[in-house]
Every structure is written in structure tokens, then in C-alpha cells.
Amino acid sequence: MHQIVTLLFNNFETLDVFGPLEILGRLKKEFHVNLYSLEGGIIKSTQDVPVHTRTLSRMNFENYILMIPGGIGTRELINDEIFLEHLKTLSINAEYILTICTGSILLAKTGLLDDKKATTNKRVFKWTEHFPKVDWVREARWVTDKNIYTSSGVSAGMDMALGFVADQLGYEVAKRQSIQIEYDWKEDSTWDPFSTLYTDNTP
Amino acid sequence: MHQIVTLLFNNFETLDVFGPLEILGRLKKEFHVNLYSLEGGIIKSTQDVPVHTRTLSRMNFENYILMIPGGIGTRELINDEIFLEHLKTLSINAEYILTICTGSILLAKTGLLDDKKATTNKRVFKWTEHFPKVDWVREARWVTDKNIYTSSGVSAGMDMALGFVADQLGYEVAKRQSIQIEYDWKEDSTWDPFSTLYTDNTP
């Protein structure tokens, strides 16, 4: 049993979180969903979804998967030293890290993505230029580097989560989940028609 | 501005709700997201996501879109007279109704889908046999009949929500939203590879 530590903050992007949690949360024998924030209580997504979270100070488990979503809220957090210190500690101790969308930018800011392959949202890919030590991959639905999974924008988190399930429990388990939620899983992590849409990102 | 009245209950399916709300909630000038339950307070999805809801008794707006998700929780609610009475009143007064997955089964139980076209989750399509007055469509990602939109299982709600946006605000708006969330929108509402997967449903 893996604990999933989902790190929420105000103005997170709704589907970044609940796409992957739909998939992992169905596998109840394998994963246990937990929602945390720095101070606990109600956290609201940009789309006005109020979620109940527990405070990080109550965290006392090992063997966890850290999930870091993206969203407009990351623009403030990238300059929030206290948040970043917590994020770094959580990330160092995590067995696996899954980021969605601009969640990878937050992780990059901690330095823990240096010399690692990663991706992020294609619409704001220019943001990656602030973190030149990371080996950013433009054309990818998701990227895996050892225990760190990073995905492209918003809905890509679902494909990454299914890829993570395939790596952990086998392809058949992942495929079955995708069928049960009637989802057209992009099994190929290099599928990415969105990578060429934004001209400011092309070389 | 349309209010979205999302009707939650314990053991709703996470993505049924948050896929469509991701899409509608991004269009802040057009839609305002509200989460309700019969008694208010924390409601938990089957995937252990605790959401803060307001009680239905505080509902006093007009011109709303009713969203009815599915999930394991529907198996109890289908026999809950008080819930069904509230659902029927809410449905009669709604400008539009959007159901996801087995949410359409709940709506069918109120009688308001009689003589209308509708669809539901393909894995439990057999459930539709209890409601022979509804014109059930097996092969469909989503179905529209006047002001009622019904979708297939779980992830189909996102495609339906984008179809609803296209009907309300034009195709270009919907397409732009799908690109911004890097989603491979199934624009064709008849796309449905899942409709033939379950042999107990084929004629």
C-alpha cells in the first residue's frame, strides 16, 4: 500500500489533481489518496472547487508518492520560500514524485530536477528557460526519470498516472482502468500534438 | 452568467464531476461553479476526495445548469425517495441538465427521461432495462435531447462538457479550451469504442 500525498494550494488546476486521483484512487488495494496543504482546511481550485485538506504538520508516514499539481497558484508559490522548503523536504523523502502541468516548475525551483529529464505545460514552456540545469523535453505527454514522473498540461496527468500504474502493476492493470473509465489512454508517452502549437516555444 | 448546480453525494465518481467542472469552470464569465448536497458539509468521492458542499436548502437562484454525476453512490440513491424528490424538483426547474455516467440512471428514475434519448456508462448498460420508456442510445459518447445532455462513463463527461460549450458559445471556444488543457477532445458525439466491449449489452 502506497500513500499518495497530494500537495494542494489555492488556485491549483482542478483536473491536474482529480484526473490522476481518479485513476490511482480506484486501485484501493495499492494506493490511498490523501489531500494536504501547508495549513490544512479548505483549499479552492481556480475553477472554484473547495476541497478539504489536512495540514502537512500531521504527516507522519513513509513510503509515499508525492503528487504536485500545477495551476495559476504556482506563480505565487515559485517565490514562497516557506512553501518551497516544505516541498523540498517532502520531495527528498518521497518514494515517487508525480508532477502535473506547472507542478514540475515548482519542483525545478527546489533544484531536485537538476540534471534530470522533465516536461511541463506546453503553453507556458518558456518558463523552463529559468531552469537551464533541467533537461527539459518539449515533445512528450509525460517523462520518467528514475522515480520522478512529470507530465504536460492538465489532462496529460491522466495518461501519466496510467503510465505509472503500468510501471507499478503491469500494462494490463492500467489498460483495464482506462477502459473502465472509458478513457482513450495515450499509451505512448511521446504523443504530443500540443508541443508545436505555441510559436514562442519553438527553437 | 449561468450558475452550475453540481449535485454531490457520498461515493460519487471523482472524474465524473471534476472533468466537466475543469472545462466549465475555466469559462468564468459564462459559468459559476457551485457544489451542493442534500445536507451540505463534506462529501467524499469513491476515490476518497473530500469536497466541501453547501446544502440545497440555501439554493435560491434561477437560470441554472444542473449537473448529476454517477458512481457507486447511485446504487443506494436509486431507492432514496427523499433524494429523488429533490432531484426531480431541481431537474424540472433547471435550464439545462448534464448527467455523467450513471447520473442518467438517477434522472431516469424521476421519469423525466421518458420518451427522450439518453446514454450512460457502457459497463452497466444493462441497468437501462429497468427504464424501458427511455430511448437509450448504446453507441454514443454523449447524447443531446433538447435541454438534456447525458454522457457515457466517467471520462466521457469531458467530451460532453466541451460539446455543451460548443453549443452555447461556439465550436471555436470549445476547441480552444480543449487545447489549453491539452485534451484530445472527441468532438464526434457518436465516437464510442467502449459500446461493444461488454457482451451482456449486445443484442
pLDDT of residue B90: 94
**Mean pLDDT along residues A145-149:** 98
Q: Which residues of B touch A35 (CB under 8 A)?
A: 49-50
Q: How far apart are CA B119 and CA A182, in angstroms?
A: 13
* CB-CB neighbors (< 8 A) of B21 in chain A: 14, 47, 49
Nearest CA in chain A to B12: A22
**Chain segment A14-67, per-residue pLDDT in tens:** 999 999 999 999 999 999 999 999 999 999 999 999 999 999 876 777 889 999
Smallest CA–CA distance from B17 into chain A, residue: A18
- The residue whose grid cell reads 518514494 is A95
**Closest residue by Cα to residue A158 from B22, B52, B43, B161:** B22
Distance to chain A for B196, nearest Cα, Å: 12
- The reply to whether residue B49 touches residue A51, judged by beta carbons under 8 angstroms, is yes
Residues B47-101: pLDDT tens digits? 999 999 999 876 777 889 999 999 999 999 999 999 999 999 999 999 999 999 9
When pLDDT is averaged across residues A125-143 and rounded to a whole number, the result is 96
pLDDT higher than threshold 60 for residue A201: no
Interchain contact A30–B (C-beta under 8 A): no
pLDDT of A202 over the 50 cut: no
Per-residue pLDDT of chain B (203 residues; tens, 9 = 90+): 899 999 999 999 999 999 999 999 999 999 999 999 999 999 999 999 999 999 987 677 788 999 999 999 999 999 999 999 999 999 999 999 999 999 999 999 999 999 999 999 999 999 999 999 999 999 999 999 999 999 999 999 999 999 999 999 999 999 999 999 999 999 999 999 999 988 664 44
Asked if A21's CB is within 8 angstroms of B14's CB, the reply is yes
Question: CA-CA distance, A22 to A15, in Å (whole number)?
Answer: 10
Longest dimension (CA), chain B: 46
Identify the residue whose cell numbers are 505527454: A141
Q: Does residue A203 surpass a pLDDT of 50?
A: no
pLDDT tens for each residue of A82-94: 999 999 999 999 9
What residues form DSSP beta bridges with B67?
A: B6, B98
A152 vs B: CB within 8 A: yes
User: What is the pLDDT, as a whole number, of residue A198?
Assistant: 83
Distance CA B115, CA B97 (A): 16
Q: Which grid cell is A65? A: 508518492
**3-state DSSP assignment of residue A56:** helix
Grid-cell match 445532455, residue found: B149
